[in-house]
Amino acid sequence: VIARGGVRDLAGRHVVVSAGGTREYLDPVRFLGNRSSGLQGYAIARAAASRGAEVTLVGANVSLPDPAGVKVLSVSTTSELRDAMISASAGADAIVMAAAPADFRPLHLFEAKIKKSSDGSAPVIDLMQNPDILLELSSNRTKDGQVIVGFAAETGDAHFSVLDYARKKLDRKGVDLLVVNDVSDGKVFGKADNEAVVLGRDGSSVDVPRASKGEVAHVVCDEIARLLPLSE
């Protein structure tokens, strides 16, 4: 993470960050998951801590060292992530949902390992939707002026651009800031470098071209610091 000349603009603030990707179990040994490494969320936690914040980091299946001076909680499923985020973020100044929660989970959890059948057939797995954690957090803010940040990995199509989809998502999620990654080439996951745009509900848009995840993290912190109300 790039040092920013000892700026302590988040001193006295509590920032809660989620990172990683959730897993939804099918049976005791198998799950549905995604490719999120947790690098971006961990970089934000480190950046916020370096700027003086008290940071709680909720990691879902992340294998990265705990950032110094950060309280780290570990979860696995979207439901566990939801519960951890709701309790950790009560009264927080800012919440950053950098995690990639699985959108669906199996309708049934098999208690024993699913076995292959000899006739070559495969099981059909019914899925149900998971709760939308970000929407729940933004609809139930627990502090005046609480700044809520979402992430979106989007691809454009023939009808709408990445930024068109992102603006719609920012509105739908009720967030103050949305960090948008263009994943059309599949180049973001697990990489140190990232290209991002940080959109604000106030119409702001900050480009972070070919920046490291540490630089993206500091731009997110800049935007959080800009939006936070003056502390009492």
CA distances from 195 to 15, 85, 166, 186, 214 (A): 23, 26, 14, 12, 12
- In the complex, minimum distance from the CB of residue 57 to ligand CTP, in angstroms, rounded to a whole number: 14
CA distances from 122 to 4, 113, 115, 125 (A): 54, 14, 10, 9
Closest CB to ligand CTP among residues 8, 171: 171
Closest CB to Ca ion among residues 50, 61: 61
> Does 103 carry a binding-site annotation?
yes
> Does 169 carry a binding-site annotation?
yes
187-161-202 Cα angle (round to 5): 100
Q: Which does 59 bind (CB under 5 to 8 A by kind): ligand CTP, Ca ion, none?
A: none
> Does 160 carry a binding-site annotation?
no
Structure-block tokens of residue 223: 């935007």
In the window 88-107, what residues touch Ca ion (CB under 5 A)? 103
Closest CB to Ca ion among residues 83, 103: 103
Q: What is the rounded (10 degree) CA torsion for 32, 140, 146, 130? A: 10
- The binding site for ligand CTP (CB under 6 A) comprises 78, 97, 99, 101, 103, 130, 132-134, 150-152, 173
CA 90 to chain centroid: 17
> Does 173 carry a binding-site annotation?
yes
**Using the rule CB under 5 A, is 132 a contact of Ca ion?**
no
**Helix, strand or coil, per DSSP, at residue 69:** coil
3-state percent breakdown (helix, strand, coil) of the chain, nearest 5: 25, 30, 45
> Does 115 carry a binding-site annotation?
no
Q: Which does 36 bind (CB under 5 to 8 A by kind): Ca ion, ligand CTP, none?
A: none
- In the complex, minimum distance from the CB of residue 165 to ligand CTP, in angstroms, rounded to a whole number: 8
34 flagged as catalytic: yes
Closest CB to ligand CTP among residues 79, 114: 79
| The three-state (H, E, C) secondary structure of 154-201, written as one string | ECCCCCCCHHHHHHHHHHHHCCCEEEEEECCCCCCCCCCEEEEEEEEC
Summarize as ranges the residues that interact with Ca ion (CB under 5 A).
103
Residues annotated in the binding site for CTP, as ranges? 103, 113, 131-134, 151, 169, 173
Catalytic residues: 34
